[in-house]
Amino acid sequence: MADDGLSAGAVARRLGVAVTTLRTWHQRYGLGPSHHVLGQHRRYTADDVARLEMMRRLTAEGVTPAEAARWARQAPSELLGDPAQVREAARNQTPRRAGGGFTIPVGRAGPAARGLARAAVHLDSATMRDILQRSIEADGVVSTWDNLLLPVLIGIGERHTVTRQLVDVEHLLSRTSSEVLGAVPRPSSATTSVRILLACADEEQHSLPLEATAAALAEAGVACRMLGARVPSSALIDSISRTRPAVVMLWSQSANTADVGQLQALLNGPGRPLLVVAGGPGWNAESLPAEVVAPTSLSEAMHFAMAAAHSDY
């Protein structure tokens, strides 16, 4: 780092946060630039950046922002470059938020889920994006969905049922998650055949689970097409006729959108797929046609889809 320090923009890029987040941390918690030259903007020193990195790591692991900032300000200089010691010290000395207000319940999910829930409540898309990206890089899409995103989404739904609030929280988390999942590199269609088609049932608007499925397939090197929300039967049949997929997954989030007739149309229509998958909690497994499979998790859906896509067809 240069002797005259870094600008706010440079620090934001280095930490992967928004400049507005740095300003908030400065104004609320006193974690700001300390190097000052008369007539110029203040600059961030190496020590400033290390404390901000500590703040970012601790909040992502579920420590409240105020407590994370307190520890970042007070941490001895010799700990600033050792994230493992920082996390251990923070766990021993900083309390987690116990509940109340608009705290989102995440059950037995880990500290990263608590950190994501807290960022969601505060509409902090930069922190949400950072947590999700680091989770995908470290653990993959399926684990991020099962252990991080899904518990928070379920918790938001539970809280909404009681309070009729947090619609804005759910929308921003979904939007941010879509951006992160969409950034997972896709395999080239020039070298990989596309044999999987993903679509939401007619009138179903919740496409995020399919976006997670598409990202998980991409991570595994499997290409797919995703039509997104609210796909009428006629449009789905037309797509199948043109692309001849081996696998079609139809997603329904609620019983109101789970039309078994749409599944039956896939089975009886031209270019019938090798495998039809009924994804989502909206489907009643007992009412599904015998030829349709109904996975109970993203990993199970991946197993079915990849097996069928790689078979001779």
* pLDDT mean values, one per 10 residues, the chain (313 residues): 71 85 87 70 84 82 77 70 52 43 80 92 92 95 96 91 88 97 88 88 96 96 94 95 95 94 93 94 93 93 88 59
Return d(Cα 139, Cα 112) in angstroms, integer.
12
Asked whether 281 and 261 are in contact (CB, 8 A), the reply is: no
Task: Provide DSSP, 101-134.
Answer: TTPPP-TT--HHHHHHHHHHHTT-HHHHHHHHHH
Q: Do the first three CATH levels of 111-182 and 196-309 match, i.e. the same topology?
A: no
Assign domain 196-309 to a CATH class. alpha beta
**Using the 8-state DSSP alphabet, how is residue 17 labeled?**
-
pLDDT value of residue 105:
87
pLDDT value of residue 178:
97
Residue from 76, 80, 155, 74 nearest 118 by CA: 155
The 8 Å CB, 24+ separation contacts for 65-72 are 65/25, 65/28, 65/29, 65/118, 66/29, 67/94, 67/95, 68/94, 69/25, 69/28, 69/29, 69/30, 69/31, 70/29, 70/94, 72/29, 72/31
pLDDT value of residue 99:
39
Beta bridge partners of 35: 43
pLDDT value of residue 5:
75
CATH 1.10.1240.10 is held by the domain 111-182: yes
pLDDT value of residue 36:
62
Asked whether 154 and 203 are in contact (CB, 8 A), the reply is: no
Residue from 115, 91, 10, 101 nearest 52 by CA: 10
Assign domain 8-93 to a CATH class. mainly alpha
Q: How far is CA 250 from CA 206, 229, 262, 274, in A?
A: 12, 10, 9, 14
Asked whether 237 and 270 are in contact (CB, 8 A), the reply is: yes
225 SS3 class: strand
To the question of pTM greater than 0.85 for the whole model, the response is: no
**Using the 8-state DSSP alphabet, how is residue 145 labeled?**
I
Q: Enter the tokens of residue 59.
A: 């909040």
pLDDT value of residue 226:
96
Cβ within 8 Å of residue 101, ≥6 positions away = none
pLDDT value of residue 39:
52
| Residue boundaries of the structural domains of the chain | 8-93, 111-182, 196-309
Return d(Cα 57, Cα 45) in angstroms, integer.
19
Return d(Cα 32, Cα 29) in angstroms, integer.
8
Q: Enter the tokens of residue 270.
A: 């031209």
